[in-house]
Amino acid sequence: MKHYEQLYIGGQWVAPAGKGTIDVIDSGTEAVMGRIPEGIEADAEAAVAAARAAFDAWASTPAAERGAYLQKIAQNLKARTDELAEIIAGEVGMPLKLARAIQVGSPVYNWSLYAKLASEFQYEERLGNSLVVREPVGVVAAITPWNYPLNQITLKVAAALAAGCTVVLKPSEVAPLNAFVLAEAIHEAGLPAGVFNLVTGFGPVVGELIARHPEVDMVSFTGSTRAGKRVSEVASATVKRVALELGGKSASVILDDADFPAAVKGTVSACFLNSGQTCVAHTRMIVPESRYEEARALAKEAAEGFTVGDPREEKVKLGPLASAVQQARVLEYIERGIADGAELVTGGPGLPAGVTKGFFVKPTVFGRVPRDAAIAQEEIFGPVLTILTAKDEDDAVAIANDSLYGLGGAVWAASDERAMRVARRIRTGQIDINGGTWNMVAPFGGYKQSGHGRENGKYGLEEYLVYKSMQLKAPKI
């Protein structure tokens, strides 16, 4: 069992001010797999003070030197790939092979990417008699989720450090152990004291304090829309910058001329990745009414091909959900779907066959779902696909846009040209065209109540920089 008794503040491991602890539960076995400190407001205050004290020196550190630190961190994390994959598979429930590639491989890539971007980015530009410079925004509070814990930490912390900001990190208490491994990797890299600080605890205590703190210049939050609204509310009192990456209800639009076997299989896979615990999961599959039966049969076959079980077993394609709370939430939505009259194609309430413990849910598909049903409108965050039917292309676009969210999506058609034409009409931050793959340097973020701000690549770096214009005297003629 991983048992951490200290927080990382001001470049050292320190005893927390409070005496509370938080158990970390293995999602596949329901056993306690770790224990962390329950930080309190005094711990958060100390972390903010340390970050503020370190800011001026770090902001003036040459960008190439900042990048060298980040590269050391990337190397230290890569050396602990197997350990991190095991931890995150237990915390979150992603099958081990995928956890190694996605949950660890992506953060390692992104630390290296920001190491490179730190020194390559153009921080200054001459415009007429002005020198426009981009400077670090200041002290950043990073509040991160449990579904892709280390990667979401990385997209905030690595980008902020590359930009010259100092950071206070509050990871999710559901999946926090990976953050302690990161803190160890950062300490081993020799990052100057106070540049990175880790405080664990609960959102209403630690999260709210750092979001409202007057010495914090920016808060970057990833999580539910409900929690994001609260972060915005408490941060507004100090008029700080706020970046939010929130919920999603992404639509996969399959047009009448698409390759249906490929489109349906691709949609189911995008819906069920990480047991559906993905903010951009393609949870609404929109198909022509005339081809519903075909789509239904293909979705049923694809869903039933997902082997459910302990994420550490190589044959498993669908692991558990991250917590008992999340399991109960998803099962409640499945019951609501049935009560609202949607057709249960496969899956449904109860544990999968052969499963007696762990936070599992059956891979579930609903058909002929009313577009105003809860399961068609609300983020479920589990392996639940809803199939909706459209009369034509215009109706499919209208259904796709009939959502509070706008984070991800897909369009499938016989040609990329047609798919892109339809994609331009859908109000969402990113859309896969005929199975287009994830790009870790393209901007990631949402429209509407999916939030604002962008992560990934140079776009993520820019979030942590502010413009300054220096007006110079015009030369005498």
The token pair at 244 is 């939010």
The pLDDT, as a whole number, for residue 475 is: 72
Q: What are phi and psi of 97, to 5 degrees?
A: -60, -45
Tell me the per-residue pLDDT of 253-277, one tens digit each, with 9 for 90 and over.
999 999 999 999 999 999 999 999 9
Tell me the per-residue pLDDT of 56-73, one tens digit each, with 9 for 90 and over.
999 999 999 999 999 999
Are the CB atoms for 50 and 9 separated by under 8 Å? yes
Which positions are annotated as active-site residues? Answer: 245, 279
Angle of helix 416-423 relative to helix 393-401, nearest 10 degrees, comes to 40
Percent with pLDDT over 70 in the chain: 100
Angle at 189 between CA 133 and CA 461, to 5 degrees: 30
Whole-angstrom distance, CA of residue 48 vs CA of residue 44: 6
Are the CB atoms for 382 and 329 separated by under 8 Å? yes
- Tell me the β-bridge partners of 7: 14
Over residues 455-477, mean pLDDT: 93
Residue 96 has pLDDT above 90, yes or no: yes
- For CATH 3.40.605.10, the residue range(s) in the chain are 2-246+450-469
Tell me the per-residue pLDDT of 103-135, one tens digit each, with 9 for 90 and over.
999 999 999 999 999 999 999 999 999 999 999
Angle of helix 63-78 relative to helix 105-120, nearest 10 degrees, comes to 170
Which CATH class name applies to 2-246+450-469? alpha beta
Sheet with 2-3: strands ordered across: 2-3, 32-37, 21-25
Q: How confident is the model at residue 477 (pLDDT cuts 50, 70, 90)?
A: low
Residue 474 has pLDDT above 80, yes or no: no
Over residues 202-231, mean pLDDT: 97
Whole-angstrom distance, CA of residue 388 vs CA of residue 391: 10
Are the CB atoms for 76 and 189 separated by under 8 Å? yes
Q: How confident is the model at residue 183 (pLDDT cuts 50, 70, 90)?
A: very high
Chain-centre distance for alpha carbon 350:
28
The pLDDT, as a whole number, for residue 369 is: 97
Which superfamily does CATH assign the domain made up of 251-440 to?
Aldehyde Dehydrogenase; Chain A, domain 2 (3.40.309.10)
Q: What's the predicted TM-score (pTM) here?
A: 0.96
Over residues 41-45, mean pLDDT: 98
From start to end of 235-394, where are the E strands? Answer: 241-245, 251-254, 284-288, 343-346, 364-367, 384-390
Tell me the per-residue pLDDT of 293-340, one tens digit each, with 9 for 90 and over.
999 999 999 999 999 999 999 899 999 999 999 999 999 999 999 999
The token pair at 328 is 């109960």
Element holding 78 (H helix, E strand): helix 63-78
Helix count and strand count (H, E) for the chain: 16, 23
- For CATH 3.40.309.10, the residue range(s) in the chain are 251-440
The token pair at 233 is 């509310």
Chain-centre distance for alpha carbon 230:
18
